[in-house]
Amino acid sequence: MVVVAVVVDVDLVGPIADFYSFMAHPETLLPMPEIDDPLQRFVSVVKFYLSGWHIKPPGVKKPLNPILGETFTGYWEYPDGTKGYYIAEQTSHHPPKSSYFFMAPEHNIRIDGTLKPRSRFLGNSAASMMEGISYMEFLNRGKEKGHGERYIITQPNMYARGILFGKMKYELGDHSYVKCPENHFVADLEFKTRGYFSGTYNAIGGTIKNDETGEVYYELSGLWNGEMFIKDVTTGQKELLFNATHAKHTPPLTRPLEEQSSRESQKLWYSTVQALLERNQDLATEEKTKIEDRQREEAATRANENIEWRPKLFRAVQGGPGGSEEGRENLDWIINAHIDPHNPSKAVEQILAFTAILPGQKVNHELDIPPQAPKSVKPSQAQESLLDLDSNDAAPGNAQHKPQPSEDLLGNPVKNHNGSNNPADVGTGSGMMAPLQPSMSTSNTAQQKPTPNPGMGGLFDAEP
C-alpha cells in the first residue's frame, strides 16, 4: 500500500477473490494438455496467459487490500461435466503474499502460484511490482516419469497513472516470461507502457524461442485488451492469437454467502462492497476501516502473547536439493494437501475433503492447522500435508535450515546454494479475534445456490 498526501491508498492487486483471471477462459485452458506437438502446446500456454489480462480490475479508486488469513474458494463447471477447483489464501501481510492453487483433475492441469506485490510511489503514478510466480503442470505430459510437464510463468508490473492529477489510467508494464525448461522454450513478453508524448496504451510485443539454441520461432504483437497476433518467423505468416475485445470470461461459482466463514473474501468484504455499489463512500470507508483496524488489533495480540500466525490452507514449500518441491522455492507456500496427480477421481475427492468449495459442503475444522503456537515452537509432525494419503514427506518447519533452491526464478540451475528464496521457518497462526459480521440486508441475502463471483472490478473508476 502506498499513502499519498492524506488518505490516497493505492494497491492494484485487490481482494484475493480477484486472482482467478487466468482460469476464466476455459476455451483456452482445457485444450492445452491434449496438444501433441511440444511447440504448439507451448504456444497454447502463451495464448492462455495473454487471455487473462483484460479481466484485471480497471482502476484504483477504493482498494480492498487482502488481509492476513483471508481465503477464497471457487469452482468452474465445464461443458463436459467436469469441474475446476480454485483455492487462495493471503499467507503473509508484511511483505504481502497471496498463495493460490488450481486444478482441473480430469483435464490433467494443476497450477500453483503466489503473488508478491511490492508497492512504489512514482510521483503522479503508483506501481505494484509483481514478484510472484506460477508453476503450471500438464500431468499427462513430461519426460520424467511421475512428474508432469512444467511451465514457469512470471507477471508484468502494474501501474496506476494520474493518481494526483489528470485522468486516472491503469497500465501493465515491463517484461514477463513463460518458460518450459523441459523443452527449452521461453516466451519473452513485453507489456509496453505509453510514453509521455507518444505511444499506444496496452501494447505488447515479444518472441517465442528456444533458449538452448537461440532460435526464434514466433514474434508476438498487439494489445493485451484487444487483438493479439503471432507471426511465424520462418514463413512470415501472421495470424490472430487471441481477441480480448469481445472475449467473455467465466468467473468462478462460489458457495452462498451464508455458508462462508467470516474470513472468506466475499463475506469479509460484503458490507464494504455493498456501500461502494451504492456509491456511499463514507460508509465504504467506515466498513473498510473496521476490517483494517481489526487486523492491526490481531497483530498486536499476537505480538503481546508471543505467538506466530499460520496459514490455514497452505504450508511452507519443502524445497532445496532432494526436497519434495525442489525447484519451487519461489512459491514460499504450497497447498497443504497431497493431491493424487494421476487419479482424477481420487484428486477430486482429496480436494473436496480438504476445504469447502461446493455449495452445501461443511467446513472440516479437523483439518485446520492449529491457529497459534509460541514462536519458539516448531510446527509438529501432525502439521504435515493434511491429506497426504500416500506420501511420507517431512513436516514443514522441522528442518533446521532453510532449504537451498536448486533453480532460479525461471528454472535455470543455481550454481551457488549459499542463499535461499524460501521463507524462514515461519509458523503462523492466529491470535485472531472474534470475526466481524457483515451487515447484510434481507433483500441482498445470498440464495442457496451456486453464486457467480463477480470480482471487484466494478468498484474502480480508472480506465484500462
Query: In angstroms, what CA-CA distances link 60 with 9, 135, 194?
Result: 8, 28, 18
- The full DSSP string for 371-431 is SEEETTSPPPGGGS-TT-SS--PPPTT-SSSPPPPSB-TTSPBPS--SS--S--S------
Say how many domains are in the chain: 1
pLDDT of 77 strictly over 60: yes
Least confident piece of the model among 98-102, 357-361, 422-426: 422-426
| CA terminus-to-terminus distance, the chain | 20
pLDDT of 233 strictly over 90: yes
Please say whether the beta carbons of 79 and 70 come within 8 A.
Answer: no
Q: How far is CA 306 from the centre of its chain?
A: 30
Determine the number of helices (DSSP H) and then strands (DSSP E) in the chain: 6, 23
- The full DSSP string for 102-136 is EEEGGGTEEEEEEE-EEEEEETTEEEEEE--EEEE
Please say whether the beta carbons of 115 and 97 come within 8 A.
Answer: yes
pTM of the shown model: 0.78
Q: Which residues of 143-182 are buried (b: 16+ CB within 10 A; e: fewer)?
A: eeeeebbbbbbbbbbbbbbebeeeebbbbbbbebbbbbbb
Rounded CA separation 201/31 (Å): 31
pLDDT at 240: 98
Q: State pLDDT tens for residues 347-366.
A: 999 999 999 999 999 876 55
CATH code, domain carrying 239: 2.40.160.120
pLDDT more than 90, % of the chain: 49
Total Cβ atoms within 10 A of residue 133: 23
Q: Name the residue type at position 314.
A: F
pLDDT at 26: 87
Q: How far is CA 196 from the centre of its chain?
A: 31
Quote the domain boundaries for residue 329.
1-464
pLDDT of 138 strictly over 80: yes
pLDDT at 86: 96
Q: State pLDDT tens for residues 283-296.
A: 999 999 999 999 99
Helix (H) or strand (E) holding 217: strand 216-223
Q: State pLDDT tens for residues 157-214.
A: 988 888 888 888 888 899 999 999 999 999 999 999 886 555 788 999 999 999 999 9
pLDDT band at 147 (very low <50, low <70, confident <90, very high): confident
Residue 114 bridge partners (DSSP): 99, 133
Residues 6+ apart with CB under 8 A from 343: none
Rounded CA separation 87/355 (Å): 9
Residues 6+ apart with CB under 8 A from 91: 97, 98, 99, 114, 311, 314, 332, 333, 428
Phi, then psi, of 451 in degrees rounded to 5: -110, 120
Residue 127 bridge partners (DSSP): 120, 159
pLDDT band at 248 (very low <50, low <70, confident <90, very high): confident
Least confident piece of the model among 130-144, 239-253, 383-397: 383-397
Rounded CA separation 31/21 (Å): 17
3-state helix, strand, coil in the chain (%, to 5): 20, 30, 50
Please, what is the average pLDDT of the chain?
A: 78
Residues 6+ apart with CB under 8 A from 127: 12, 119, 120, 157, 158, 159, 160
Phi, then psi, of 428 in degrees rounded to 5: 150, 110
pLDDT band at 24 (very low <50, low <70, confident <90, very high): confident
